[in-house]
Amino acid sequence: MQLILVIFGILACMNALKVYQELSDPSLTPSSNIMRCSILSQIDYYYLSSIQPTVNYQMSIAESHYAVDIFVDFYLIGEFVNKPINILLDNILIDQYSVRYDYSVPFCDTLPTQVSTYFKSYIHYQRDLNLAFQLETQDGFSLGIRNIQIIPKLCHESCTQCVGPQKNQCRSCYIGAQISKKTNECKCPSTSPYLSVQQNQCIKKCEVSEYFDQNLERCIFDDKMEQVSQYFWGNYDFTGWSMIENGVTQSLFNKFYMNMNVKIVGQFFVSQSINYKFSNAFYYHSLRIRADIYIFKSQLPPSIFVQVDKIQKLVTPLHSYNETQSQGYILYHIDYVIDALPISNITISVDSDENIQWGINQIIINTVNCQANCNSCKSKLVCNTCKAGYYLYQGSCVTSCPSYSKLEGQVCKDATEQYPSTTYLMRAFDDNIISNFIVKNTRSINSFYQNQFGTFFNGVRYFGGLKDKGNQFFQKQFTNVAPHYKILIQLNLITFEFTSLNYSSNVVSISIDTQTATKINSSQSQIQQVSVEQVHSSNNLTLVMMSVSQPNTYFSFGISNLNVMIQRCAPLCRTCIGPNQNDCTEWIIEQNSQNQNCNNGFIFDIEQQKCVLCPLGCQKCLDQVTCLKCEDTFTQQGSSCYCLNGYVDEFTLDRIANPPSS
């Protein structure tokens, strides 16, 4: 008899993984093959035995992939030593799993049970996947299966099939694209140059809600886009638009014509430009201007200019398309972003030889918010207040508060925000995705005699947890820690007892460097929230957690939601006893600071622990992209600085008034 289940997909938050999982709910749906432990009743699992030795799981993976990572929690029950478990993928035997030694504990009924997490990475690229588990020998051996996770290793987004994750490892492409014989990359043709993953094909232009990212080479949905206005598409409304010639403003009404079935506004000359006033932008918003520019009768490549108030810039087109018929044209796509003003005066012009004529259509003007769903911004990157239905979390807007934070009004207060001048050194074991456990945690935490993937218990995965005889010992070392005066540790702790003795006699000890910071008494299968604060100033830190158990007891512990934080010294302070400047006992001396402050044009960077440059031409900045005051030789618009006359010296970064003579 075989059980067929359809596995559903969820989008994991961490590392942008796509995870297909089954048997991961806090409690499984009751059936004849679902078993529950009597000692730890929160553990249930799908049961294989001599009565039903095989189970199948089927799924369909939507994403293009070249391999899959398979994770499964096994509960080995009874006489399991050297008893193989067959693992089949698409009806092919890919592995046999068995254990050589018995490290079981009696946590599930009277029979000793051993917990382990099986892992296998296997080549796979088909859409459909069938995973099966089979007991080869059933005598005295039963198997529990829990928390299956299938994680596809995804192709590059330009590939529909591939042999690896890079863009030059494609086997097939989206509709309209071809594999380059030179680079082995999927490339869109010049007639449809933009890759749309959403539409599964190459297209002539990105959708209005998207923009073309030249680094990723595809259309990207912009969730920060607001106030989208379209002009001269199907509806040719000239309201608000004007033409300027030799300083004289004229009406643009009905100035359009047809060319090769394309309706174009214009047949302008180089002396003519068009103008529009865009309103209602907010401070720290950007303005995005996109348009199609048509060039006729020009012998020279055109120079396309976009001016917003005082700032005029030569715009490099995203793409050009040459229509070679008798009444042909060259079509240029432009995409320009600049700081917005409450009322932005936009002018578009073209310069080339005197015979040029040019036209325009399909104009899109929109604002770009500092963060999606932000109501008011604190800087170009940081939100100050969110729109209705959203909560503010560390400068962004979220629909619910993430881990390590708690809701206070409309703000999700991060754990670091509950203390002054605090940043975290490590956040770990904060989700149930096993691959995140491996990547984020176990490569950096030393564990002795412990299943490195932890224990899945009552719907939560814990590092550690159910374990064989002997004490547990976890160690994490930090080096080059930023100047600080205190260590803060927060975690959830769960303990397991499998003895009739008083379990409160067993404890978990947490040490910072060589000193015991705290001891936590065991509390059978109950979650305890642990918080530790200790004065600390060394740039090296060793954190140790270990079980201290009584003789002849089975005792183990697991941890989740581990948060290790430091309370920092003031900027440019090397050692201190508190967060303020007058708490500093030794200052950092560096070339871009004086009198315990960064020089003009610099800002202190917490990560690098030094003064770094503000944006180009900026004298005082809020961060490395938001300028508060420009240098006198630069022009400020919004929170950016612009060089309008002359050029910027590449070595000194100063504005040079006149370019060097040739």
Of the given ranges (127-131, 256-260, 447-451, 605-609), which has the lowest mean pLDDT?
447-451
Same domain, 439 and 406: no
pLDDT surpassing 50 at residue 3: no
Contacts of 443 (CB under 8 A, 6+ apart): none
Q: Which tens digit of pLDDT belongs to each residue from 150-185?
A: 999 999 999 999 999 999 999 999 999 999 988 999
Mean pLDDT score, 312-340: 85
Same domain, 350 and 384: no
- Closest Cα partner for 186 from 172, 165, 200? 172
- Span 417-427, average pLDDT: 91
Nearest to 488 by CA among 539, 576, 562, 429: 562
Look at residue 159 and tell me if it is in a domain. Answer: no
Please tell me whether residues 400 and 434 are part of one structural domain: no
- Give the CA-trace dihedral at 172, 173, 174, 177, to 10 degrees: -140
Q: State which of 126, 154, 182 marks the end of a domain.
A: 154
C-alpha pair distances (Å), 541 with each of 299, 335, 492, 511, 512 = 68, 49, 21, 10, 7
pLDDT at 471: 78
pLDDT at 1: 30
Q: What is the CATH number of the domain that holds 270?
A: 2.60.120.260
184 lies in some domain:
no
pLDDT exceeding 70 applies to what percent of the chain? 91
Averaged pLDDT for residues 379-405:
94
Residue 657 pLDDT level (bands cut at 50, 70, 90) = low
| Beta-ladder partners of 167 | none
Average pLDDT estimate for 593-616? 91
Q: Mean pLDDT of all residues in the chain?
A: 87
Boundary residue ending a domain (418, 447, 480):
418
CA-nearest of 485, 483, 504 to 495 is: 504
Give domain status of residue 522, yes or no: yes
Task: For residue 429, give both structure tokens.
Answer: 């074991």
Predicted pLDDT at 420? 87
What pLDDT was estimated at residue 10? 32
pLDDT for 368 equals 95
Positive or negative, the CA dihedral 174, 176, 177, 178 is positive
pLDDT score recorded for residue 210: 95
- Per the structure, the complete domain to which residue 401 belongs is given by 374-418
Residues 484 and 538: their CA atoms lie apart, in Å, by 8
Higher-confidence position of 473 and 613: 613
Distance set, CA 8 to CA 19, 57, 62, 154 (Å): 9, 11, 11, 17
Q: What pLDDT shows up at residue 2?
A: 34
For the chain, the first-to-last Cα distance in angstroms comes to: 86
Based on the fold, state whether residues 453 and 532 are members of the same structural domain: yes
Which pLDDT tens digit goes with each residue over 519-565?
999 887 889 999 999 999 999 999 999 988 877 777 889 999 999 99
Tokens of 499: 């003895």
| pLDDT, tens digit, 9 for 90 and up, residues 70-102 | 999 999 988 899 999 999 999 999 999 999 988
The Cα 539–Cα 147 span in angstroms is 40
| Burial degree of 441 (CB within 10 A; 0-12, 13-18, 19+) | buried
Q: Assess whether 563 and 428 both reside in one domain.
A: yes
Number of domains in the chain: 5
Provide the residue count of the chain: 662
Q: Does 290 fall in a domain?
A: yes
The reply to whether 326 falls in a domain is yes
- Whether 601 and 468 share a structural domain: no
Determine the Cα–Cα distance for residues 75 and 107; give it in Å rounded to an integer.
Answer: 11
pLDDT reported for residue 524: 78
Residue 191, in any domain of the structure: no
Q: What is the mean pLDDT of residues 269-296?
A: 92
What is the pLDDT at residue 304? 95
Task: Give me the residues paired with residue 346 across strands.
Answer: 276, 308
pLDDT > 90? residue 580 = yes
In terms of domains, do 476 and 391 share one? no
Q: Has residue 346 got a pLDDT over 50?
A: yes
Task: Answer whether 551's CB lies under 8 Å from 497's CB.
Answer: no
The reply to whether 243 and 319 lie within a common domain is: yes
Q: What is the DSSP string of 411-461?
A: EEEEGGGGSTTEEEEEEES-SS-HHHHIIIIITTEEEESS-TT-EEETTEE
The three-point CA angle 419-558-469 to 5° equals 145
Same domain, 516 and 648: no
Q: For 200-216, write each residue's pLDDT tens digit.
A: 999 999 999 999 999 88
pLDDT digits (tens, 9 = 90+) for 235-254: 888 999 999 998 899 988 87
Answer yes or no: are the C-beta atoms of 77 and 144 closer than 8 Å. Answer: yes
Average pLDDT over residues 365-372: 96
In a domain, 213, yes or no: no
Q: Which of 188-197, 437-446, 540-549, 617-626 has the lowest mean pLDDT?
A: 437-446
Within-domain flag for 70: yes
* CA distance linking residue 382 with residue 371, whole number of Å: 7
CA dist 51 → 46, 47, 48 (Å): 13, 10, 8
Q: How far apart are CA 173 and CA 202, in angstroms?
A: 10
